[in-house]
Amino acid sequence: MVDWPSRELINAHMPKGFKDHFPNTRVIIDCTEFFIENPQNLNAQAATYSTYKSHNTYKALVGITPSGSFSYVSKL
């Protein structure tokens, strides 16, 4: 369950650039990958291999408020 900040709290801390151009923004969603060592277990290797990075990685989905605070980070 995700506990998103309230609309009022987001608006109270929203930078002017966002208020002017993107007033309805509540969260910015992005994905990121972190390089890891090559696991010895073959199933773990297959589960963590990234064809995009050509390396084994942990992947995370993050949500960031317009003011720059993390409001959500998925499990790796």
Q: What is the pLDDT of residues 1-53, one digit of tens each?
A: 567 788 899 889 999 988 999 999 889 999 989 999 999 999 999 999 999 89
1 inside domain: no
pLDDT, residue 2, reads 66
Both tokens assigned to 14 = 């929203």
**Chain-wide mean pLDDT for the chain?**
90
Residue 29 belongs to some domain of the structure: yes
Is residue 2 situated within a structural domain?
A: no
Mean pLDDT of all residues in 60-72: 90
3-state helix, strand, coil in the chain (%, to 5): 25, 30, 40
Residues spanned by the domain of 29: 7-18+25-73
Query: Strand, helix or coil at 29?
Result: strand
Q: Judge whether 67 lies within some domain.
A: yes
Residue from 63, 23, 5 nearest 73 by CA: 63
Number of domains observed in the structure of the chain:
1
d(CA 67, CA 31): 18
List beta partners, residue 60.
Answer: 32
